[in-house]
Amino acid sequence: MPRNLFLVGALALWCGHASAADFCPTVADSQNFGLQYQLQGAQQGNLQLLRSHAQTAYYNPDNGVGEWWDFKQASHPNFYRVFSQQQRRIDYYTGDLRTLNIHVSQTEIESFAANNLRQQLTLVGDGACADSQRYQGDYQGVHYELLWSNSLQLPLSLSTRRNDRTQQWQATAVLSGEQVTQQLQQWQQFTDTDYADIGDNETDPFLAQMINQGFVEHSEHAVYNSQGQPLQGAHQH
Amino acid sequence: MKTLPHVQAAIATAIAAAFVCHSANAAVLPESQSQSSWYTAGAEAVAAKVATARNSGTAKNVILFVGDGMGVSTLTAARIFQGQAAGNTGEENRLSFENFPYSALSKTYSVNQQTPDSAPTMTAMVTGVKTEDGMLSVSADAIRGNCLSSQGHELKTALEYAEEAGKSTGIISTARLTHATPAATYAHTPERNWEADSDMPAEALANGCHDIAYQMVMEAPGDGLEVALGGGRGYFLPNTVVDGEGRNGRRADGKDLTSAWTTNYSNAAYVWNKAEFDAVDTASVDHLLGLFESSHMQYEADRADDVGGEPSLAEMTNKAIDLLAKNDKGYFLMVEAGRIDHAHHAGNAARALQDTVALSDAVQAAMDKVDMSNTLIIVTADHSHTFTIAGYPARGNPILGLVHAPDDEQIDTNPTLAADGLPYTTLGYTNGPGAKTGAREDLSAIDTTEVNFLQQAQVPLSSETHAAEDVAIYAAGPGAYLFQGSVEQNVIFHVINQAAALGATKY
């Protein structure tokens, strides 16, 4: 649903093609790699997209919070939230996702929530990087500039402008497949709790904080919107 | 609304007795009262009570049904939900076990908490002793999460006594079989979260405590459980194994307890999906393990969409009774609707009510199969939730809908508005994820009957909490009459012990 992309009204900045063209990632295995994005403009921060075959994760290295999807069973994806500082993981099962009204698109998750958006924009030409294309256009009051990698099926640069507020996601580094694998393996070792069990663990300080302060539910705290799709810049708390 | 209240078929046998009382009173009553269907139905209900013969015999079989988090408001809402689903106004409906002849209220507090969790409450029900929160069938002398402190303070359970008496035993849960409620029947641990060895701290491992899954398979009482059906597959599998639904096992000790189950027992079977479950021949299988999910089983609302397929609670109950009833000495079976609690924690009334109806169906399945003259059936809850039924909705107003007041004998087409000018639902929570900071959401254009709708709440919490009010106990069969009035939750064990002559003590 493209409307989800526009929930983040604060994002909108066109910084020009020059910076986007400066970084042209080379990936050895397009099914096992990561991209580091930097957010510039009214909000600032970093976000890593990690891909390992059917698994895609978004990790904010600034606060150590990640959201991890596994689409091996495409109609019943596994979803986890990871908290690196506490070395904890929350596992969400199908029923949990439904009660939270989270219905995700694998394509959107894997494309930085840009695949559907791309189809709303106009192709304006090839980008500076090999196998990249530039798109632009207006949608629901937001102006978009997108530099899209055909080989990675991901944005290399995504800029938005709404009124005078501007924002840009810029790919800045490649993470190797080995780094991605290590990261996912590390998260696999974290102490895990089923989302359904949180309410029965009020004596656990970490979970009690979740119960009382409410950062477990899907919200603007995460890198996704309430539909489980990634928000540009929503990793700020 | 002038719908005749539901009348039990069994009541017909007692109408003559009722008529005597009725006639005596009718002489001084106006016809509008004496001829009222409410009046006559009420009189017939009393007559049925008078005619009910107390069964003080010994219970050969005991089935304990537990609705996790199934407070009284959940029962009321679920009966209306079920009745409305059948096309009726709903309020007059009765869940299967609401027709049981005996009931009591159960006080659920634990040794250390006014509002308990499932661990001490189930411990109370199956050992006769209250303990502290988080601990399973060990006494309050232990310290939660400390293995050494728990040793020597294990409490013997009704299931263990039943095994000693030569009966067959079984557990069923839509939650993990290692979750607090089922685990309290067979395991002894100072920490409910020690479900697999990977969940245990060094102190516990060093001092010889074993995880709950291990206890279920490797340290089972007597000749072992005959039936264990539910969720929690991952806790029985090594972390090097990916199960049939794509989930990793979580055991660090490398043990495959599903394999151990079939090795340890003769005529044993392990199944993990609906097709395998359906294929089980109870005549030839004596020990059945079914683990249908890596963690909890699906909510009833989502069950049909499961990857591997899952049996319903009623189907599991049916199969279990077929297998357990092969023992001439009888059986003890615990059946938990474990996900009522989870749906409430999520603030999602629709799923909680559907799972409650599923429990009612399972009780009905048991009633249809067993001989009630020698089988004690108890239906109760471990604790309540902050779930409320509020406002002044008209009779027959959709239980999941907005409050619409009566309008003569119709229902007002406009919803009732609160002081903030907004409509509100009949069902709500005192706390939970449905609360908003600031103004309430306008529900005028929202379909509040949709299964994923989260009811509004007052206090914002990510997870709705348990509540402390009493829960109900319903009972039928030998010894059921012992449930009367208000009782401590641990009395449930003592009734089972007395009714089934388990030998825990003499009365």
pLDDT in tens, chain B (507 residues): 444 444 443 444 444 344 444 444 556 899 999 999 999 999 999 999 999 999 999 999 999 999 999 999 999 999 999 999 999 999 999 999 999 999 999 999 999 999 999 999 999 999 999 999 999 999 999 999 999 999 999 999 999 999 999 999 999 999 999 999 999 999 999 999 999 999 999 999 999 999 999 999 999 999 999 999 999 999 999 999 999 988 899 999 999 999 999 999 999 999 999 999 999 999 999 999 999 999 999 999 999 998 899 999 999 999 999 999 999 999 999 999 999 999 999 999 999 999 999 999 999 999 999 999 999 999 999 999 999 999 999 999 999 999 999 998 899 999 999 999 999 999 999 999 999 888 999 999 999 999 999 999 999 988 999 999 999 999 999 999 999 999 999 999 999 999 999 988 754
At B287, give phi and psi (nearest 5°). Answer: -135, 110
| Residue A45: strand pairing partners | A39
- CA-nearest of A44, A42, A11 to A160 is A11
Q: Cα–Cα–Cα angle for A106, A108, A36, nearest 5°?
A: 105
What is the widest separation between alpha-carbon atoms in chain A?
A: 57
Here the tokens at position B430 are 């005192």
Phi and psi for B482 in degrees, rounded to 5?
-70, -15
pLDDT for the residue numbered B10? 40
Q: Determine the pLDDT at residue A165.
A: 87
A95-117: buried (b, 16+ CB within 10 Å) or exposed (e) per residue? bbbbbbebebbeebbbbbbbbbb
Looking at CA atoms only, how far is residue A188 from chain B in angstroms?
A: 10
Report how far residue A73's alpha carbon sits from residue B239's, in angstroms, rounded to the nearest whole number. 19
Task: Give the helix/strand (H/E) hosting B316.
Answer: helix B313-324
Q: Which residue has the tokens 């407070």?
A: B71
Is residue A52 a contact partner of residue A181, using CB atoms and an 8 Å limit?
yes
Cα distance from N-terminal residue to C-terminal residue, chain B:
50
Q: What are the residue ranges spanned by the domains of chain A? A: 32-112+173-213
- Residue among B192, B452, B462 minimizing CB distance to A210: B462
Cite the active site residues of B.
118
Cβ separation A212–B245 shorter than 8 A: no
Q: Where are the beta strands (DSSP E) in chain A?
A: 32-41, 45-52, 55-60, 65-70, 78-83, 88-92, 122-126, 132-139, 142-149, 154-162, 165-175, 191-194
**Residue among A69, A80, A99, A101 with most chain B CBs within 10 A, to mutate:** A99
Measuring CA to CA, how many Å separate B242 from each of B133, B233, B251, B292, B451?
33, 11, 12, 14, 31
- When the pLDDT of each residue in chain B is averaged and rounded to a whole number, the result is 94
Cβ(B398)–Cβ(B415) below 8 Å? no
What pLDDT is attached to residue B29? Answer: 92
Position A215 scores a pLDDT of: 52
Q: Can you give the pLDDT at residue B19?
A: 45
Residue B60 φ/ψ, nearest 5 degrees: -70, -40
B452/A101 CB distance under 8 A: yes
Residue B39 CB-density burial (10 A; 0-12 exposed, 13-18 middle, 19+ buried): middle
Question: How far B175 CA sits from the closest chain A CA (Å)?
Answer: 10
The residues, ordered by sequence, that sit 6+ positions from B83 with a Cβ below 8 Å of its Cβ are: B89, B90, B91, B92, B93
Angle at B466 (CA atoms; ends B461, B468), nearest 5 degrees: 130
Tokens 């999602």, residue located: B348
Which residues sit opposite B486 in a β-bridge? B105
Whole-number pLDDT of residue A102: 82
Report the predicted TM-score, pTM, of the whole model to 2 decimal places: 0.89
Q: How does pLDDT run along chain A (237 residues), one tens digit per residue? A: 222 322 222 222 223 333 444 689 989 899 999 999 999 887 888 999 999 999 999 999 998 999 999 998 888 898 999 999 999 999 998 888 888 888 888 999 999 989 989 999 999 999 999 899 999 999 888 899 999 999 999 999 999 998 888 889 999 999 999 999 999 999 999 999 999 999 888 889 888 887 776 554 433 323 344 344 444 433 222
Of A70, A91, A199, the CB nearest to B345: A199
DSSP for A142-199, written as a single string: EEEEEEEETTTTEEEEEEEEETTEEEEEEEEEEEPHHHHHHHHHHHHHSEEEEGGGGG
CA distance B75 to B472: 9
Q: Cβ A95–B298 below 8 Å, yes or no?
A: yes
**B407 CA to centre of own chain:** 37
Q: Estimate to the nearest angstrom the gap between the alpha carbon of A135 and the chain centroid.
A: 20
Measured CA to CA, the distance from residue B116 to residue B123 in angstroms comes to: 11
- CB-CB contact of A54 with A72 (8 Å): yes
Residues forming a β-bridge with A59 = A48, A66
| B407: phi then psi, degrees, rounded to nearest 5 | -135, 90
Determine the pLDDT at residue B326. 98
Interface residues of chain B, partner chain A, Cβ below 8 Å: 117-118, 133-134, 144, 180, 192-193, 245-248, 250, 293, 295-296, 298-299, 301-302, 305-307, 339, 341-343, 345-348, 351, 433, 451-452, 454, 460-466
Q: How far is A97 from chain B (nearest CA, A)?
A: 10
Question: Pick from A77, A121, A115, A124: which is nearest to A96 by CA?
Answer: A77
Q: Per DSSP, what are the bridge partners of residue B466? A: B385
Cα(A123)–Cα(B415) distance, integer angstroms: 50
Interface test with B, best of A200, A213, A219, A226 (most B CBs within 10 A): A200
CB–CB contact A198 B307 (8 Å): no
Per-residue pLDDT at B68: 98
Tell me how far apart the alpha carbons of residues B313 and B324 are, in angstroms, rounded to a whole number.
16
Q: Do B346 and A99 touch (CB under 8 A)?
A: yes
| The predicted structure's pLDDT at residue B125 | 98
- Which chain A positions have a beta carbon within 8 Å of B245's beta carbon? 73
Count of pairs with CB atoms under 8 A, one residue in A, one in B: 90
Which of B231, B248, B237, B247 has its CA nearest to residue B211? B237
Query: What does the alpha-carbon distance between residue B111 and residue B166 come to, in Å, rounded to a whole number?
Result: 32
